[in-house]
Chain A
Amino acid sequence: MNFIVQLSYLIAAVLFILGLKAMSSPKTARRGIVWAGVGMVLATLVTFLHPAVQGLTNTILIVIGIAVAGGLAWWSGRRVAMTEMPQMVALYNGMGGGAAAAIAGVEMLRALRMLPEGLQSQAQALASDAGISMAAAEAALRAEGAGSANIASALGADVAILAILGALIGTVAFSGSLIAWAKLDGRMKRNSLVPGQKYVNLLVFVLAIIFGIMTFFTDSILVVTLFFALGLLFGVFVAVPIGGADMPVIISLFNALTGLAVGFEGYAIGNPAMIIAGTVVGAAGTLLTQLMAKAMNRSITNVLFAGFAADTQSAGEALEGEMKDVSAEDAGIMMAYAERVIIVPGYGMAVAQAQHKMWELVELLQDRGVEVKFAIHPVAGRMPGHMNVLLAEAGVPYDMIYDMEDINEEFAMTDVAVVIGANDVVNPAARDDAASPIYGMPILNVDEAENVLVIKRGRGAGFSGVENALFVGDNTRMVFGDGQKVASGMVQAVKGL
């Protein structure tokens, strides 16, 4: 039976890797998730045959747990709007990290339960061999140090180390992801919890490490509990100061961390499928995190410890010049008579659900012979590639969508650049103003286009709170209003020509 279980785990691991590989190309991506899904179902089903799964009560609890949580996750995943996908990824990822930590928790509880039993049986053997009383035998054993047995000796040093590491990483990923979810979902706005957050974070981190080491040597449930609590606290403290465009990076980092925690716990319980899948995700997630951080010209340590929000408060000088606005209809006509148009969508377009109207407008423009392209900044939306997903949802074919590096030189030859719901990623201050908090972040060179139309709800600053010099540029016209209404107005104007 164990052979079937192990063979199925092997097949599942192969399916995961092939699935992820297929997911890195648009043509095969949909096949990829199905392969990985088949692997997951196979691995889950055969685990019921695993020799360690014993007892009717436990089996029933497993079935109930999977059915209830799986059902709820299915329902929430189906129901959620496309714009809210990033926080759902954060939420589900946090659950995975929490599960890895809970696995470590069970193993430590088991180890602690074994300790007194081990001592008792040893004492019994000694008592009958040497013909002394139980109490005397126990005292003798304790004097020899056998009674000071701890988690490390119960689990084995290697297993204990990886279980503890996995628990620390898992708890941090769990609470950190939940904070990321709350922030993205608009349930939490604060950027610090206590004064001197940075130093408090460092202190909590050091304490967590100390308690992790103590857990290795302990036989006390209190130490283990405190260790888990400190891990959870550190996750919260790490995630709270992070905001703005750094959010996707931190979610990706927590995703990689969860993978790592799963891999470590896989070693702790001797499960090769978990080791392989977890480590693959840990490595892939780390690389993905680096790609994202690089897209914003920030290092991961910078994202983690600099505190984006703290910087912006000191900056944000007043801008010279005035915004000039134009009606949606005039803007539409301007586009209709252009030769080349590039549309730069941002999260604001998604919030206004304007992507369908924009695509309708683009189709009309194409019928008139206007060349239209979409330009996507690597961190447009709340996650890299998020905007691509939203445009694809509206029916925009992916060969019309260009990455920043591929299209940035074309803005200079473009008649009209349309910015809808994007802000920081088109702010020329990131290129020109060394004092700006977003200085150094690569941007789309929208300001080089002959005309720039900015569709925006109001006059305020963007997600990061930084003023945008593009809006007061000589070649810029602002179209104020709800994205969807503005797009409808443009469609009407072009249709009327």
Chain B
Amino acid sequence: MAIEGFVAIYIFMLAGFAGFEVISRVPVILHTPLMSGSNFVHGIVVVGAMVVLGHAESTAEQIVGFIAVILAAGNAVGGYVVTERMLEMFKSKDEQKKGAQE
């Protein structure tokens, strides 16, 4: 799917506003988890890495594409695990007790 010219600029602009809006009213308590969460979200780069490795034809392209997949998968999975662990701490007291009983 080709996204060209002004359509792309509109997408960049609107996505940028969405990003600002999402963060604008966030308590300090969540800054680190949110930074970590946004770090996970740009792990979507794994999709692009899969596509370029998928259509690689020469050995050089395959090597660089494979490096891209490795790095991107590390970003996505590591980002998720770390964020999830941080946010686990934000269970309310009731949930923590429930967890302890189980």
Which A residues fall within an 8 A CB radius of B?
2, 6, 9, 12, 16-17, 19-21, 23-27, 29-30, 32-34, 36-37, 40, 43-44, 47-48, 50, 52-55, 57-59, 61-62, 65-66, 68-74, 76-78, 80, 82, 85-86, 88-89, 91-93, 95-96, 98-100, 102-103, 105-107, 109-110, 113, 158, 174, 251-252, 255, 258-259, 262-263, 265-267, 269-288, 291-292, 376, 378, 381, 383-386, 388-389, 392-393, 395, 397-398, 401, 403
Contacts and interface: CB of A to CB of B under 8 A. Distances in A.
Nearest to A5: B1
Contact of B64 (A32, A74, A106, A403): A106
Contact of A270 (B1, B22, B53, B81): B1
Contact of B54 (A52, A263, A388): A52
A27 B29 CA distance: 12
A16 B66 contact: no
A382 to B, nearest CB: 9
A103 B79 CA distance: 20
A106 B30 contact: no
Nearest to A251: B35
List the 9 closest pairs (A to B, CB-CB), nearest first: A283-B19, A53-B54, A77-B81, A392-B89, A73-B78, A65-B69, A102-B68, A96-B75, A385-B31
Contacts of A389: 32-33, 86, 89
B43 A40 contact: yes
A106 B50 CA distance: 11
B11 A272 contact: yes
A86 B35 CA distance: 10
Contacts of B31: 288, 291-292, 378, 383-385
B13 to A, nearest CB: 9
Contact of B58 (A40, A100, A113, A265): A113
Nearest to B49: A99
B71 A98 contact: yes
Contact of B47 (A24, A273, A385): A273
A277 B75 CA distance: 14
Given A92-B39, A255-B35, A274-B45, 17 more contacts: A23-B34, A24-B34, A25-B30, A26-B90, A30-B84, A44-B46, A44-B50, A65-B69, A76-B78, A77-B78, A86-B32, A110-B55, A262-B48, A265-B48, A272-B1, A281-B42, A385-B32
Contacts of B27: 24-26, 403
A54 B54 contact: yes
B40 A40 contact: yes
Nearest to A396: B89
B88 to A, nearest CB: 7
Given A102-B71, A270-B2, A272-B3, A288 B23 contact: yes
Given A29-B90, A291-B31, A392-B90, A43 B44 contact: yes
A103 B77 contact: no
Interface string B1-40: 1111100100110011111101111111111111111111
Nearest to A381: B32
A99 B44 contact: no
B98 interface: no
11 contacts: A6-B1, A17-B22, A19-B37, A37-B80, A48-B50, A65-B53, A77-B85, A78-B81, A274-B47, A389-B33, A398-B29
Contact of B88 (A30, A54, A74, A110): A30
Contacts of A74: 77-78, 81
A59 B91 contact: no
Contacts of A95: 71-72, 74-75, 78
Contacts of A77: 77-78, 80-82, 85
B39 A30 contact: no
- Residue of A44, A103, A287, A381 with most chain B CB atoms under a 10 A cut-off: A103
| Interface residues of chain B: helix, strand, loop or mixed (majority) | helix
A47 B34 contact: no
Contacts of A267: 3, 8
B78 A91 contact: yes
Nearest to A2: B1
B11 A65 contact: no
Contacts of B29: 26, 376, 385, 388, 398, 401, 403
Contacts of B12: 263, 275, 279
A103 B52 contact: yes
B15 A285 contact: no
Given A53-B54, A109-B58, A262-B45, A283 B69 contact: no
B57 interface: yes
A384 B32 contact: yes
B37 A36 contact: yes
A65 B73 contact: yes
Contact of A85 (B36, B41, B46, B75): B36
A273 B71 contact: no
- Residue of B16, B42, B65, B89 with most chain A CB atoms under a 10 A cut-off: B42
Contact of A47 (B11, B51, B71): B51
A278 B55 contact: no
A54 to B, nearest CB: 6
Given A30-B88, A278-B44, A378 B35 contact: no
B46 A88 contact: no
- Residue of B22, B47, B53, B65 with most chain A CB atoms under a 10 A cut-off: B47
Contacts of A284: 19-20, 22-23, 34, 38
